[in-house]
């Protein structure tokens, strides 16, 4: 997957969250790290075309989201997005959450959609959960179903915004295991995460966002063992100091 950011800027009022970012590279799995409020979610939502940039544009494999509603729709339909929490539709069961986009957006027949959902639920050990409503699911189950929904139509890229930060440690592990499995089957994804161990071991590349810029970028292992900038060094040691789940 080739991603290209052209002069990407996002302002909220007078606050500049992303500041004229230019970037281009190939990746299969990419982690975005950075301190809280640094614009990681903003960046991911712009890449997903859920938010329009103040200026500049994102291109994925040569296709830009554009500014026309129908183009944006086409663009979004090739992506999967996983929210930090509460990412399921509350009025639908787990199963219906997975089948709704298949039927309404990706023109599956009802039968085929249900088959696909059952297959995914089964694969991720969620068969028992299919008929439950989001309010009846644990945080970890919700997240795994949200991921299953996102990959069900086989998107060309999966975007995950801190999918584990609202979870207890035991659930964090089951969700991260699931994402690693996706990597092993060759899916492309971008994940915003505070799990440095996961970024380092399970993501091919890592990007460090700092003060509206991509301050460092590279092979994950290299970036974590050899941070070049004082800011990244400081970021990593602060995390280590409190031994945030490595």
Partner 1 sequence: MKFPGVFTLFITDKNTKPPAWKALINLTIIIGAAALMVIVSLKRIDVKLDYSFLPGVTFRLRKGFEMTLILSICSLILSLLIGMVSAAAQNSRILVIRYLFMGYVKLIRGTPLLAQIYLFFYIIGTAWGIENRILSGILILSVFEGAYISEIIRGSYLSMEQQQIEIGMAIGLDKAGILREIIFPQMLARTLPALTGQFASIIKDSSLLSVIAVTEMAQTMREISSLNFKMFECYFLLAALYLLLTLPITYFSEWLERRFGYEN
Ligand X SMILES: Nc1ncnc2c1ncn2[C@@H]1O[C@H](COP(=O)(O)OP(=O)(O)OP(=O)(O)O)[C@@H](O)[C@H]1O
- Contact criterion met (CB below 8 Å) for 164 and 172: yes
- Contact criterion met (CB below 8 Å) for 58 and 65: yes
- # residues near ligand X by CB under 6 A: 10
Residues in contact with partner 1 by the rule CB under 8 A: 48, 50, 69, 73, 76-77, 79, 81, 83, 86-91, 100-101, 104-106, 133, 135, 149
Between 134 and 163, name the residue whose CB sits nearer to Mg ion. 163
Between 129 and 195, name the residue whose CB sits nearer to ligand X. 195
Say whether residue 210 binds ligand X (CB under 6 A): no
Task: Tell me which of partner 1, Mg ion, ligand X, none is bound by residue 42, counting a contact when its beta carbon lies within the kind-specific cut-off of 5 to 8 angstroms.
Answer: ligand X
Say whether residue 244 binds ligand X (CB under 6 A): no
Say whether residue 87 binds ligand X (CB under 6 A): no
Question: Whole-angstrom Cα distance, residue 51 to residue 43?
Answer: 9
| Residue 65 beta carbon to partner 1: minimum distance, rounded to whole angstroms | 12
Between 124 and 208, name the residue whose CB sits nearer to ligand X. 208
| Residue 162 beta carbon to ligand X: minimum distance, rounded to whole angstroms | 6
- Contact criterion met (CB below 8 Å) for 33 and 41: no
Task: Tell me which of Mg ion, partner 1, ligand X, none is bound by residue 27, counting a contact when its beta carbon lies within the kind-specific cut-off of 5 to 8 angstroms.
Answer: none
| Residue 221 beta carbon to partner 1: minimum distance, rounded to whole angstroms | 31
Between 113 and 209, name the residue whose CB sits nearer to Mg ion. 209
Residues forming beta bridges with residue 217, ordered by sequence position: 207
Question: Whole-angstrom Cα distance, residue 190 to residue 27?
Answer: 9
User: Which residues have a Cβ under 8 Å from the Cβ of 231 and sit 6 or more positions away?
Assistant: 208, 210, 211, 215
For 116-146, b where at least 16 C-beta lie within 10 A, e where not — what string? bbeebbeebebeebbebebeebebbbbbbbb
> Pick from 21, 39, 41, 159: which binds Mg ion (CB under 5 A)?
41
- Contact criterion met (CB below 8 Å) for 44 and 159: yes
| Residue 95 beta carbon to partner 1: minimum distance, rounded to whole angstroms | 14
| Backbone phi and psi for residue 228, each to the nearest 5 degrees, phi listed first | -90, -30
Residues forming beta bridges with residue 59, ordered by sequence position: 4, 64
- Contact criterion met (CB below 8 Å) for 147 and 139: no
Between 41 and 99, name the residue whose CB sits nearer to ligand X. 41
- Segment 7-66, which members bind ligand X (CB under 6 A)? 12, 17, 34, 36-42
Contacting residues toward ligand X, per CB under 6 A: 12, 17, 34, 36-42
Contacting positions for Mg ion (CB under 5 A): 41
């Amino acid at each position: 997957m080739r991603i290209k950011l052209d002069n990407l800027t996002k302002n909220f009022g007078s606050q500049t969250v992303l500041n004229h970012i230019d970037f281009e590279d190939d990746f299969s799995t990419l982690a975005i790290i950075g301190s809280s409020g640094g614009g990681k979610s903003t960046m991911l939502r712009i890449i997903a075309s859920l938010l329009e940039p103040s200026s500049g544009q994102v291109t994925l494999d040569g296709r830009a989201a554009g500014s026309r509603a129908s183009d944006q729709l086409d663009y979004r339909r090739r992506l999967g997005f996983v929210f930090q929490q509460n990412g399921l539709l509350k009025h639908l069961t787990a199963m219906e959450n997975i089948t709704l986009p298949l039927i309404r957006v990706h023109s599956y027949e009802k039968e085929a959609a249900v088959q696909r959902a059952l297959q995914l639920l089964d694969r991720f050990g969620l068969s028992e959960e299919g008929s439950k409503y989001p309010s009846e699911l644990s945080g970890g189950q919700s997240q795994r179903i949200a991921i299953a929904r996102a990959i069900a139509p086989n998107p060309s890229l999966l975007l995950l915004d801190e999918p584990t930060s609202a979870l207890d440690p035991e659930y964090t592990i089951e969700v991260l295991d699931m994402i690693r499995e996706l990597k092993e089957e060759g899916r492309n994804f971008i994940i915003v995460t505070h799990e440095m161990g996961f970024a380092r071991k399970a993501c091919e590349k890592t990007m460090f966002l700092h003060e509206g810029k991509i301050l460092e970028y590279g092979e994950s292992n290299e970036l974590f063992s050899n941070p070049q900038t004082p800011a990244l060094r400081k970021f990593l040691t602060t995390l280590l100091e409190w031994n945030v789940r490595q």
